[in-house]
Amino acid sequence: MGTATAGLRVPGGSGGIAGLVHGIRAGVASCRLCPAMKPFRKPPAESFGTTRTGYVLVAEAPGPSGDLFRDASGAVLREALAQARDGEYRTLEDLFFVTHAVRCIPGNPKAKGKTRAPKRSECGACRPYLAFELRALHPKLVLAVGGKAAEAVLGRPVVMDEEHGQRRRIGDIELLTVLVPSPHNRGALKRHGFGMESYTRWFAGLFGALIDDLRR
Ligand code: SF4
């Protein structure tokens, strides 16, 4: 049985992570909490990836077609993992369980076929889904890509210019907060001394270190 939290249905804890993901998908399908998400386009797939490594990647929102993190920033992260050149962890799905701060696709009313950043209120409304996932997964490390993703994990506003690269512990989970690796974010990346290529290399180093940790 699910429970209701401020009108949002979240699943019970039975059935392991597959059951949890299935339950979340069912809850999302009927969720209407965020008016600006109308017509409530739902991603064809929800959270995905491995639960074996203990690493969770939280992105801000699904891409325009509900794609599995295959937008510009997803492409940078996939390229970074390719640069890490590991034979076992070749895809993001091999290394991370990938989830989102909001479950609906935030369609951009001003640009058909494009998305917009999720609103803070939408991230707050959707947060129980993420919280249930994290509670079920007990990850070692959560990589929050973008301020809204970090806010969804922390439950408070985040200023990315101040918090990029910060690692902190939340209970027994380590949270690493990083800037979105998107060309749209060039200004913030520049303030941290990155261009797109150097930021891709930075992620390659991070992923290499995470993989090394798995083998220790
Ligand atoms: S973004 Fe989340 S809380 Fe908002 S309508 Fe979609 S599923 Fe519901």
Pairing between β-strand 141-145 and β-strand 173-178 as defined by DSSP bridges: parallel
**Please, are residues 88 and 210 in contact by the beta-carbon 8 Å criterion?**
no
CB of 26 closer than 6 A to ligand 1?
no
For residue 45, pLDDT over 70 is answered with: no
135 CA distance to ligand 1 middle (Å): 19
CB of 125 closer than 6 A to ligand 1?
yes
Residues written for the chain: 216
For residue 150, pLDDT over 90 is answered with: yes
Provide the mean pLDDT of the chain. Answer: 87
Atom of ligand 1 nearest to the CA of 27: 7
pLDDT of residue 66: 67
Q: What is the rounded distance in angstroms from the CA atom of residue 119 to the CA atom of residue 25?
A: 21
Atom of ligand 1 nearest to the CA of 42: 6
**Please, are residues 189 and 160 in contact by the beta-carbon 8 Å criterion?**
no
Average pLDDT (131-160) is 94
Confidence of residue 13 (pLDDT cuts 50, 70, 90): very low
57 three-class SS: strand
pLDDT of residue 113: 80
pLDDT of residue 108: 85
pLDDT of residue 28: 87
Q: What is the rounded distance in angstroms from the CA atom of residue 99 to the CA atom of residue 112?
A: 24
Q: Which residue has better confidence, 170 or 209?
A: 209
70 three-class SS: coil
Residue 38 identity (one-letter amino acid): K
153 CA distance to ligand 1 middle (Å): 16
CB of 130 closer than 6 A to ligand 1?
no
Phi/psi of residue 135, nearest 5 degrees: -65, -40
CA-proximal residue: ligand 1, atom 4 (nearest): 34
For residue 14, pLDDT over 60 is answered with: no
CB of 31 closer than 6 A to ligand 1?
yes
Confidence of residue 67 (pLDDT cuts 50, 70, 90): low
Superfamily of domain 3-215: Uracil-DNA glycosylase-like domain (3.40.470.10)
- Pocket residue to mutate for ligand 1, from 40, 103, 123, most atoms within 8 A of Cβ: 103
Count Cβ atoms within 10 A of the Cβ of residue 38 and give its class: 0-12 exposed, 13-18 middle, 19 or more buried: exposed
Confidence of residue 53 (pLDDT cuts 50, 70, 90): very high
Q: Could you identify the residue written with the tokens 């949270």? A: 175
31 CA distance to ligand 1 middle (Å): 6
Q: Which residue has better confidence, 121 or 4?
A: 121
CB of 28 closer than 6 A to ligand 1?
yes
Confidence of residue 43 (pLDDT cuts 50, 70, 90): low
pLDDT of residue 68: 66
32 CA distance to ligand 1 middle (Å): 6
CA-proximal residue: ligand 1, atom 8 (nearest): 31
CA-proximal residue: ligand 1, atom 6 (nearest): 104
Q: Which residue has better confidence, 48 or 118?
A: 118
